[in-house]
Structure 1
Amino acid sequence: MSLREGDPAEIGGYPLEARLGSGGMGTVFLARTSSGRPVAIKLIHPQFAADDEFRIRFRQEVAAARRVSGAFTAAVVDAAPEAEQPWMATTYIQGHTLSRLIATKGPLGGAELRRLAIGLAEALRDIHRVGVVHRDLKPSNVVLSPEGPRVIDFGISRAVDQQTLTMTGRVIGTPPFMSPEQLQAPRDVGPRSDVFSLGTLLAYAATGHGPFDAESPYIVAYQVVHGEPSLEDVPVALRTVVESCLAKEPDGRPSADELLVLLRDLPADLGQTDAGGVGAGHTRDMITQHHFATPATPAPTAPTTTPAGPDTGSADTPIGGRRRRRWRRRWRPVLAVAVAVAAVGGGVAALTTGGFGGNSGGDQGNSPAAPSAALPAGFKPWHETVPGGREDIPDELRCVARGDALFCGGGGVVATRIRARDGSRVWTAKSPGVPVNGMYLVGATDDTVLGYRIAARRAPQGPPSEVVAIDANNGRELWSVPSGAQSTAVTGRTQDAIVVGSDVVTVDASNSRLEARNAHSGRVTWKSPFPAGKQCAPVLVGPQLVAMCATDAEVRALAVRRPALYPVDRATGALGRPIAVNGPAVPMGIANGRLVLLQVHMGGTDLARYNRVARVDPASRKVTYSPLGKTYAGTPGMADGTVYVSGQTGLVTALDPATGRKKWSRQTGVEGASGPVAGADALYFSSATGRVVALSPHDGKPLWTTDPQADGLTGELGASPRVTLAGRAVIVAAAKNTLFAFDAQKPPKSG
């Protein structure tokens, strides 16, 4: 659709090419970045732009939308919520909407319908894990791209609802695809509301009509709240799953993770199954390929977000022994605990190597290998998979090495001990629930391993997440303590506990204080309340423990603008005088005795995120800021006093933290890599597929690259490093709880 008279020629520096559509909130335009990349820009109508309450909500939604990976959605490219007319730019997705496809070609069936269902469940899983509730999942908000279904139009519908409710008390939405709670209490909907909407959408895709269709929207709304769904034409195998999604009460529905388990258990062609919905030929694809034979057509995209509540071993060691409540009898037999962690938004891991007097930074346990480092005794290359809490949905692990012992956790595993020489498992302790984004292993001391245990969602008792201490020798649980979960909002990384010498420092369950315990005995050594009105996360910089804090309001709004750094006395927990930092900022490591942070830029093109580097001098309490030469997108890391950003397309850039200047930039074939991990004159970067590249730290020259080892998503940002070094052995974590190891001097041949 061409531009109309009165349409702007450009928005935010993006030249407009076409009008994609217009709705009650705004108009969507097709535009281009300076590099020629197409983007969709939604420009908010002036009457909403003049409303202060809407601006606040829109600002919060833009901030939250940036946390969604974009793997199954249209990622935010740029936004200006403070502009005279607020606008948001997202990646442009080509393809028909589901509503258009059904209207032109009729209902879907067989493998095509199953692929759609799994793709949408994967999308909801990733959306909900970053605290977002879509609230308007319907056929016109699903685009069938060549890579699979993409969910669009986040949050703007929520802004419309809230604004309209404030003014008139009317509920705005699409009744055939709304949940009962949306119609009855729209301010209080949670992730299970999206699951209900997905159930209606799948019924529509399978039959061409909604399960509550009626002559008028009023009757439809009544049927949604009180009536039984019409599912006679839905394939029997899929029908039981859809029925579970359409439970009237949110607690009676599966979560997105659990729904994914149910869908993957269906036969590939949705053939005949028994009434319980369990069929032969289970397929449990971690990454599902989607192929829709539809021509590419423009589709408006404008995601925004709404905060949501969290989802609440070989010798396998059962952890916890929790009982789950009984779920609806019709689908409980096909559902156990769904365990899957997306390595999205994991952020930078705890900083443990070096100190204020040296040059270091990186992931705990990823310690550099000296030039003379040897292989573990008896080492031979190996490739293993560690069973998780739900073995058909494993995900990623992170590891630390202690001599020949390798300790790993994540993806449904509290911790596992593996022999670095051959990959054999000594013990494994599993987690019953669905882990949080990027929440992997806490760390290890000489005799204790510490990991996270996530409770089964419907566990009748106990905290939703705990830090668990395990005897490093035999895998026996030593103690556990409830854990808070606000570090991501404050520091940009998911790590609510860190190992400090022989102690572990945690955030208490109420997010009100730091607590230190002896890692092995669990004996409390000190408790330190957060400063009034603030929430904090622990950060370790060499020998210095720091509490990084933000105000309650900033944490709630997902908009940390001025974090404060409090030095913490490791012996008593006493907090020192705060040092304010212009934020948001992500702690990276140390260089020349100063703490280095990357500042997050909330605008820019091509998913740009970092535009300045901040250095904190603990002696003078002075903070120095240096602008980067450009705004960099990707996953940050630090090693040997240099900051690195790994782009989604494989571009690795080395930055001087003292000046912000680029040292070098190198295009690699490893997309979505995390790192670096410093070895003997090499830097290692690796993606979720297990593909590894070794670069020279001097100029970025590629030394070697390996082939992928697992099917995994490579579009995530902020993942912690996946490589661990045990002497000269390179141990790599990949998707599906895959671990493999090889000699750094004899890497696997590529091709």
Structure 2
Amino acid sequence: MSLRGGDPEEIGGYPLEARLGSGGMGTVFLARTASGRPVAIKLIHQQFAGDEEFRIRFRQEVAAARRVSGAFTAAVIDADPEAAHPWMATTYIEGHTLAQRIAEQGPIGGAELRTLAIGLTEALRDIHRARVVHRDLKPSNVVLSPEGPRVIDFGISRAADQQTLTMTGRVIGTPPFMSPEQLQAPRGVGPRSDVFSLGTLLVYAATGQGPFDADSPYMTAYQVVHEPPSLGSVPAVLRKVVEPCLAKDPKDRPSADELLVRLRDLPTDLGTAAVEGAARPTCETDTQHHLAGEDTSTPIASPAKSASATGPRSGKRRRLRPVLAAAVAVAAIGGGVALMRTDAPGEPGGTGDKGRNVAATGDPLPRGFEPWRKQVRGGRADIPDELRCEARGDALFCGGGGVVATRLRIADGTRVWTRKSPGVPVQGMHLVGVTDDTVLGYRFAAEGAPGGGATDVVAVDADKGKELWSVRSGSQSTAVTGRTQDAVVSGSLVVTVDASNSRFEARQAHSGHVAWTTPFPAAAECAPLPAGGRLYAMCAPRVEVEAGAVRHSVVYEIGRGSGRLGKGVPVPGPVQPVGSVDGDVVLLRQRVKGPELLGYEGVARVDTDARKVSYAPLPTPYEGTPAVAGGTVYITGRTGLVRALDPATGKRKWSRQTGLEGASGPVAADGTLYFSSASGRVAALRERGGAKLWHTDPRADGVSGEMNASPRVTVAGRAAIVTGAENTVFAFDTAKPPESE
């Protein structure tokens, strides 16, 4: 919602753009840092500024939020609890709350429920590892961001080794999701209280009702303390795990670590509620950044779902959220990679009882190759991210997150060199690319440093790991194309957007010598677009980019030698580029409702030589992560369903369930497609017909349901190199995938 009369124009030097919500204790505003990053600022109501007890509580909230920044939460960017008008700025998390999700769509089931349960449990585990007890875990304090669930609002949390602050004469919390000890002895509340709240939260997610619901808060509180939980509608496999969390005695409940182990062993599909629980409106404030401390509050509209990660482009320079909380688990760390049969006997392409299929390839392995697993640490250990890799000969070059670039040996994973980044990474920005002698990566400047929050493109010598040169990069690509790709490698050149977002700049990759510069077309914003060995630009009217509603894109071919733009080919939108086929740029037409992406409804191919666009509608709108491989368009859904589409006709060639949550890909090699999730699970399918060959166990704690993730698999001969969350890299022989234990 827009700012109101009397609202400040800025807080702490951050210009305000809009109200996100208001409650009994304060108001939350959308603002931006100097580099353009969106932040949420909580401004405490003036009448509480003179209340010392409240100030203590607000200081406690700031301290607790700082302690867990980077672990599934809204990271604290800045704060001033001592100001005349106290405030705190955190990373802006886009997405609906769990309360909204249940109210609008009903209970959650199947693989989505398992993913939510694991993600929340891992979030709670990391909060507790930071020695913080949340004390108000409830549906409106869980944001379902495109990167996974985020826990917000530490307004009544405390450090585990501090005295509990309880406002005079009041027990603070939300009865349906409070533990018995919170209601009876709040000063004795510990981490297992949060486990109890998590149990109630999972029951609510699965059934639409809490396990102790009653007609009044007083009866609810009585049932929490004295009565057994109502779990009849909870799917049976989940009920066995949730029930111990709801024990009256904290000592009888599992820890978050123990709970995570139990959840990990559950089947992928948890089923649905035995008796459909009707989703009921709640009296909680469904604002994205809930304001703690209200017994009642005025309901406000929740912000729309993320457009930068799951839908059409939004405002200028809007990228995906910084990866300060990018490790929501799809599945916990497993042992070795294990082969798992995924096809029924007799299914075409299935293994059945006759043995196993393997990826067909005759290419050799690097000399001395043995399966390996490594973790590449970046510039900040508290902000792990995913890497992306490219293979050149016997060398593997990777980058992403806190790593500008690193070189590993494909044969055994030995690290040759690493260049680190000190700043806060941006989701989706990994390695720019590799030439014969140079590796190009991104370096993120730290907040508070000169140019804080900005991004540089850095050239590194491929042999020695020495930095050769760097240049400040613009940041408009997500707003224009829906993909975070601010620089591209084309031949021996690296093409960037200048820091003022007004022109392309091409440099020789190794020397940094400027080969050419090309201004954007008048009144347009542009992003570079490599496709099939050619170089393109995708541009959109600046006014549409600023409004976050691009509907009139234009594709230009760029002369790689001269930088000259060819004649533009208009493409009605909204569209998103996904790759190329036979030199044509392939885009998917988006179906949108306001800022929300409802799916992809057609395939467009742009032939810049003939200056024409061919369009084929899809049979039905498809949701998921799109990509092009081997002349086919693939869309991979959040739960792992892959659809293969003909780019000329839009007709579906085949569809197959991989079982991988949030899978990206594919990478095609020798007739085999490789998909992988942030947890490091890999699925191999035959390119023709999509028959399933095998898939592996998790190898990292990974994000579920990330949209538009770039492929995580690199194939070098018979070796598959896979990246996962927390900068994990591992390799194995595709012709000999590990057997089940």
Indicate whether 1:267 and 2:113 are aligned.
no
Residues 455-509 of structure 1, C-alpha deviations (whole Å, 9 max, x = no match): 0011035771110001111111110001001111111110110011111000000
Of 429, 443, 466, the residue aligned with 2:433 is 443
Q: Residues 733 and 696 from structure 1, CA distance in 2 versus in 1: closer, same or farther, beyond 3 angstroms? A: same
8 Å Cα contact 2:327-2:702 kept in structure 1: no
CA distance, structure 1, for counterparts of residue 597 and residue 38 of structure 2: 29
Kept in 2, the 8 Å contact 1:311–1:434? The answer is no
Aligned equivalent of 2:554, options 541, 556, 564: 564
Q: What is the CA-CA distance between 1:746 and the residue it aligns to? A: 1.1
1:535 deviates by 0.6
* CA apart distance, 1:227: 6.9
User: Quick one: which of 473, 476, 494 aligns to 2:484?
Assistant: 494
Q: Equivalents in 2 of 1:545, 1:196: separation in Å?
A: 44
| Conservation of the 8 A alpha-carbon contact between 2:585 and 2:607 | yes
Letter in 2 for 1:304: P
In 1: Cα distance, 2:124 partner to 2:488 partner: 32
Question: Corresponding residue for 1:281?
Answer: none
Instruction: Say whether 1:256 aligns with 2:91.
Output: yes
Shift of 1:267: 1.7
Distance 1:392 1:748 in 2: 32
Equivalent pair of 1:486/1:496 in contact (CA under 8 Å)? yes
State how 1:272-287 maps to structure 2 within 5 Å: 272=161
SS in 2 for 1:291: helix
- Confirm whether residue 422 of structure 1 aligns to residue 412 of structure 2: yes
Q: What amino acid sits opposite 2:131 in the alignment?
A: P
Name the SS for the 1:375 alignment partner. Answer: coil
**Is the contact between residue 554 and residue 560 of structure 1 (CA under 8 Å) also seen in structure 2?**
yes
Asked whether 1:433 is paired with 2:268, we answer: no
Are the aligned partners of 2:674 and 2:713 in contact in 1 as well (CA < 8 Å)? yes
- The change in CA–CA distance for 1:747 and 1:510 in structure 2 (over 3 A counts) is same
The letter of the residue matching 1:194 is A
- The answer to whether structure 1 residue 247 and structure 2 residue 81 are counterparts is yes
Taking the TM superposition and a 5 Å limit, the aligned residue runs for 1:386-465 are 386-461=376-451, 464-465=454-455
Give the deviation of 1:247 after TM superposition. Answer: 3.4
Task: Give, as a single letter, the amino acid of the residue that structure 2 aligns with 1:522.
Answer: G
Q: Which residue does 2:524 correspond to in 1?
A: 534
Q: CA deviation at 1:257?
A: 9.6
- 1:221 is matched with which residue: 35, 40, 46? 46
Tell me how far apart the structure 2 counterparts of residues 443 and 750 of structure 1 sit (CA, whole Å): 36
Report the counterpart of residue 174 of structure 1 in structure 2.
23
Letter in 2 for 1:736: E
Q: Helix, strand or coil: the match of 1:609? A: strand
1:246 is displaced (CA, Å) by 4.8
Change (3 A) 1:726 1:448: same
Q: Residue 376 of structure 1 aligns to a residue in which SS?
A: coil
CA contact (8 A) 2:456 2:470 kept: yes
Deviation at 1:411, TM superposition (A): 1.7
Residue 661 and residue 391 in structure 1: after superposition, are their counterparts in 2 closer, same or farther (change >3 A)?
same
- The 3-state SS of whatever aligns with 2:40 is helix
Alpha-carbon contact 1:596-1:615 (below 8 Å) kept: yes
The answer on 1:629 being equivalent to 2:619 is yes
Give 1:523-602 correspondences, 5 Å limit: 523-602=513-592
For residue 661 of structure 1, the aligned residue among 647, 651, 656 is 651
**1:713-741 residue CA offsets vs partner (Å, 9 max, x unmatched):** 22111100000111110011101111110
Q: Is the 8 A contact 2:389 2:396 kept in 1?
A: yes
Gaps (5+ residues) in structure 2? 4-13, 67-75, 94-122, 134-158, 165-194, 210-279, 287-300, 307-313, 329-358
Report the Cα offset of residue 260 of structure 1.
Answer: 12
Q: 1:284-306 CA distances to partner (integer Å, 9 max, x unpaired)?
A: xxxx9982425624347664359
Closer, same or farther in 2 for the Cα pair 1:263/1:572, shift >3 Å? Answer: same
% same residue:
51
Q: Summarize the alignment of residues 365-404 of structure 1 with structure 2, pairs less than 5 Å apart.
A: 371-404=361-394
The match for 1:291 is: 198
Secondary structure of 1:498's aligned partner: strand
The SS at the match of 1:563 is strand
Letter in 1 for 2:697: D
Residues 609-620 of structure 1 mapped to structure 2, 5 A cutoff: 609-620=599-610
Q: 1:629 to 1:468 in 2, by over 3 A?
A: same
Task: Please tell me the residue identity of whatever aligns with 1:659.
Answer: T
User: Are residues 437 and 229 of structure 1, via their aligned partners in 2, closer, same or farther at CA, if it must alter by over 3 Å?
Assistant: farther
Equivalent residue pairs, number: 504
Contact residue 398 and residue 407 of structure 2 kept, 8 A: yes
| CA contact 1:604–1:631 (8 Å) conserved in 2 | no
**Unaligned 5+ runs, structure 1:** 1-24, 26-52, 55-127, 137-156, 158-172, 198-211, 213-219, 276-287, 313-337, 345-368
Supply the AA of the counterpart residue of 2:54.
S
Whether 1:196 aligns to 2:42 is yes
**8 Å Cα contact 2:672-2:687 kept in structure 1:** yes
Distance 1:604 1:186 in 2: 22
Equivalent residues in 2 for 1:453-492, closer than 5 Å: 453-461=443-451, 464-492=454-482
Q: Deviations over 1:621-654 (max 9, x none)?
A: 1111110011000001111100000001111000
Which deviations, in whole Å up to 9, do the C-alpha atoms of 1:117-162 show, x marking residues without a partner? xxxxxxxxxxx9xx999944xxxxxxxxxxxxxxxxxxxx5xxxxx
Change (3 A) 1:408 1:134: farther
User: Which residue identity lines up with residue 81 of structure 2 in the other structure?
Assistant: A
Cα offset, 1:578, TM superposition: 0.6
**Whole-angstrom CA distance in 1 between matches of 2:507 and 2:641:** 41
User: Could you tell me whether the CA contact under 8 Å between 2:48 and 2:54 is conserved in 1?
Assistant: no
1:554 counterpart SS class: helix
Does structure 1 residue 230 correspond to structure 2 residue 54?
Answer: yes
Cα distance in 2 for residues equivalent to 1:411 and 1:187: 20
Query: Is the 8 Å Cα contact of residues 192 and 254 (structure 1) preserved in structure 2?
Result: no
1:4-403 residue pairs with structure 2 within 5 A?
135-136=19-20, 157=21, 173-174=22-23, 176-178=25-27, 194-196=40-42, 220-224=45-49, 230-232=54-56, 239=63, 245-247=79-81, 255-256=90-91, 266-267=130-131, 270-272=159-161, 291-293=198-200, 296=204, 297=209, 298-299=280-281, 303-305=302-304, 340=324, 342=326, 371-403=361-393
Question: Distance in 2 between the 1:133 and 1:262 partners?
Answer: 32
1:312-344: CA deviation from partner (whole Å, max 9, x where unpaired) = 9xxxxxxxxxxxxxxxxxxxxxxxxx9647599
Instruction: Compute the displacement of 1:582 (Å).
Output: 1.2
How far is the alpha carbon of 1:694 from its aligned partner?
0.3
- Deviation of 1:178 (Å): 1.9
Contact 2:315 2:479 in 1 (8 A): no
Helix, strand or coil at the partner of 2:540: strand
Q: State the 1:539 CA deviation.
A: 0.7
Which piece of structure 1 moves more, 437-446 or 261-270? 261-270
Q: Contact between 1:606 and 1:633, CA under 8 Å: does it hold in 2? A: no
> What is the 5 A alignment of 1:661-680?
661-680=651-670
CA contact (8 A) 2:40 2:90 kept: no
Q: Single out whichever of 266-275 and 548-557 deviates more from structure 2.
A: 266-275
The one-character-per-residue Cα deviations of 1:679-729 (angstroms, maximum 9, x if unpaired) are 122100011111110001111110011011111122111100000111110
Q: What code does the residue aligned with 1:721 have?
A: P
Deviations 1:47-105 (A, max 9, x none): xxxxxx99xxxxxxxxxxxxxxxxxxxxxxxxxxxxxxxxxxxxxxxxxxxxxxxxxxx
Contact 1:731 1:741 in 2 (8 A): yes
User: 8 Å contact 1:628–1:661 — kept in the other structure?
Assistant: yes
**Aligned partner of 2:631: which letter?**
G
Shift of 1:747: 1.4
CA contact (8 A) 2:365 2:717 kept: yes
Deviation at 1:594? 2.6
Return the offset for 1:437: 2.0
